[in-house]
């Protein structure tokens, strides 16, 4: 049986305020094409369909379109809810949608109820384990205490109990949304440590023929039968070196697995640049990044004037600016009064904004509003006969 394993679509998410709607649509076009071209027998989506519990209308419409396209192909598709999804909302209409071959597994009570598929070698039981928040599901699993490992272990006990009732030779597939020990995280995953220790041991999944994992955004192989597909798009600059992909998995008659990575479309490459501003603006080697989404870390000892504006003249898609000076200027160790002496009110305010909002610079309308605010304050103080500093 040929399976296509994907996860962490995060429909509705942006990238440093850049709209990713069309990039996510392009990925779904790619997915549908792969299903057809590779003659996929079933699609597995291991959670975080949406980026938030209350997704925007555009994200919901995109998901609805994806459901219709997958149903039209006649290829069974199994979804589970992730920690970003609202399980109740994602699961609305699951019973009706199931008639079209789309299986939404969002209810922890249903972890031991498989989607039964079959090929020429016999039956395959696919179990969808939605994200299990320990505080919310312990009681349902008959547990008094315990964290992620305990509730996931209890869910897998139900899976194994059901498998024992299936015909001999039934192969098993599990979808799970969890942080499995040995996986490498990135900056764009939401922490799931609330409710207990986040990581769960890989041994929990022993005996399952294939485990389609979601949550971590980088494609990873923890064992031949235990894999993360990762997200189809980069959602943080920590993913700049990752190649986004899906797993094309062939499940043999004996339950053994052969898997191939299929790479996803890249809407715009990511680049993390570091150095002094003048060096970045002049470096010929940086020409390849001029159309990339750029994170720039400036190492100038003194913060340059309007660095974001200067960077965007060469790198128009600069999205994040960080400042890590190679050495602190001498006045930085003096009193606050000494450090701001000779600087205008606007410059002091901009410095404060950079301090409380790292990685961003005041530009455009924000800078105009701040300048106008100081001008109005000066006018008001002037009307009162108060000396106004400049």
Are 116 and 202 in a shared domain? yes
Are 214 and 72 in a shared domain? yes
**Parallel, antiparallel, or unpaired for β 245-251 and 2-6?**
antiparallel
Are 241 and 295 in a shared domain? no
Q: Which of 144-158, 329-343, 353-367 is modeled with the greatest confidence?
A: 144-158
- Does position 254 have pLDDT exceeding 60, yes or no? yes
Q: Is residue 99 part of a domain?
A: yes
- Band the pLDDT of 183: cuts 50, 70, 90: confident
Q: What percent of the chain has pLDDT over 90?
A: 78
Q: Which of 263, 279, 311 is the last residue of a domain?
A: 263
Cα–Cα distance between 170 and 118 in angstroms, integer?
9
* 45-59, 140-154, 299-313, 322-336: least confident range: 322-336
Q: Which of 205, 231, 263 is the last residue of a domain?
A: 263
CA angle 66, 67, 69 (to 5 degrees): 65
Mean predicted lDDT score pLDDT of the chain:
90
DSSP conformation class of 157: H
pLDDT tens by residue, 267-314: 999 999 999 999 999 999 999 999 999 999 999 999 999 999 999 999
- Does position 194 have pLDDT exceeding 50, yes or no? no
- Does position 355 have pLDDT exceeding 80, yes or no? no
Q: Is residue 285 part of a domain?
A: yes
Q: For position 388, what pLDDT does the model report? A: 45
Reduce the DSSP state of residue 353 to 3 states and report it. Answer: helix
Are 259 and 282 in a shared domain? no
Are 336 and 212 in a shared domain? no
H helices of 138-258, where?
148-165
Are 303 and 336 in a shared domain? yes
Q: For position 198, what pLDDT does the model report? A: 79
Q: For position 196, what pLDDT does the model report? A: 42
Q: Do the Cβ atoms of 242 and 230 come closer than 8 Å?
A: yes
Are 28 and 161 in a shared domain? yes
Are 14 and 109 in a shared domain? yes
Domain of 81: which CATH number? Answer: 3.60.21.10
Q: Is residue 390 part of a domain?
A: no
Q: For position 172, what pLDDT does the model report? A: 98
Domain range for 368 is: 270-383
Q: Which of 263, 284, 319 is the last residue of a domain?
A: 263
Are 239 and 285 in a shared domain? no
Q: Is residue 73 part of a domain?
A: yes
Are 126 and 202 in a shared domain? yes
Q: Is residue 389 part of a domain?
A: no
pLDDT tens by residue, 5-51: 999 999 999 999 999 999 999 999 999 999 999 999 999 999 999 99
- Band the pLDDT of 121: cuts 50, 70, 90: very high
Are 249 and 280 in a shared domain? no
- Band the pLDDT of 175: cuts 50, 70, 90: very high
Are 19 and 161 in a shared domain? yes
Instruction: Report the first-to-last Cα separation within the chain, whole angstroms.
Output: 74
Q: What percent of the chain has pLDDT over 70?
A: 88
Q: For position 377, what pLDDT does the model report? A: 75
Q: Is residue 14 part of a domain?
A: yes
pLDDT tens by residue, 237-249: 999 999 999 999 9
* 3-7, 63-67, 141-145: least confident range: 141-145
Q: What is the total count of domains within the chain?
A: 2
Number of C-alpha atoms within 13 angstroms, CB side, residue 24?
A: 26
Q: For position 385, what pLDDT does the model report? A: 47
Q: What share of the chain is helix, strand, coil (3-state, %, to 5)?
A: 35, 25, 40
């Amino acid at each position: 049986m040929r399976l296509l394993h994907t996860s962490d679509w995060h429909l509705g998410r942006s990238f440093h305020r850049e709209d990713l709607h069309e990039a996510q649509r392009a990925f779904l076009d790619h997915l549908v094409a792969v299903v057809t071209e590779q003659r996929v027998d079933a699609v597995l989506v291991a959670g975080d369909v949406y980026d938030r519990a209350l997704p925007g209308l555009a994200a919901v419409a995109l998901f609805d379109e994806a459901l219709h396209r997958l149903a039209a192909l006649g290829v069974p598709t199994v979804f589970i809810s992730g920690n970003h999804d609202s399980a109740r909302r994602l699961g609305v209409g699951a019973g009706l949608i199931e008639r079209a071959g789309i299986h939404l597994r969002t209810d922890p009570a249903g972890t031991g109820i498989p989607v039964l598929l079959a090929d020429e070698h016999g039956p395959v039981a696919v179990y969808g384990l939605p994200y299990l928040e320990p505080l919310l599901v312990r009681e349902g699993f008959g547990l008094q205490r315990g964290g992620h490992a305990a509730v996931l272990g209890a869910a897998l006990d139900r899976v194994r109990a059901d498998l024992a009732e299936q015909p001999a030779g039934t192969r098993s597939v599990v979808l799970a949304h969890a942080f499995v020990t040995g996986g490498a995280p990135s900056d764009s995953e939401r922490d799931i440590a609330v409710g207990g220790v986040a990581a769960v041991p890989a041994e929990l999944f022993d005996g399952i023929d294939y485990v389609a994992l979601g949550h971590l955004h980088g494609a990873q192989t923890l064992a031949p039968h235990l894999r993360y597909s990762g997200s189809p798009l980069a959602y943080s600059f920590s993913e700049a070196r990752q190649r986004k992909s899906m797993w094309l998995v062939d499940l043999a008659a004996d339950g053994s697995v052969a898997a191939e990575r299929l790479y996803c479309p890249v809407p715009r490459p990511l680049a993390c640049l570091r150095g002094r501003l003048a060096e970045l603006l002049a470096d010929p080697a940086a020409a390849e990044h001029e159309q990339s989404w750029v994170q720039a870390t400036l190492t100038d000892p003194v913060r340059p004037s309007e660095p974001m504006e200067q960077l965007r003249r060469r790198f128009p898609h600069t999205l994040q600016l960080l400042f890590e000076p190679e050495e602190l200027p001498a006045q930085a160790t003096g009193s606050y009064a000494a450090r701001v002496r000779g600087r205008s009110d606007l410059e002091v305010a901009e410095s404060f904004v950079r301090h409380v909002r790292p990685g961003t610079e005041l530009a455009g309308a924000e800078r105009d509003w701040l300048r106008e605010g100081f001008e109005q304050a000066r006018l008001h103080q002037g009307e009162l006969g108060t000396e106004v500093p400049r």
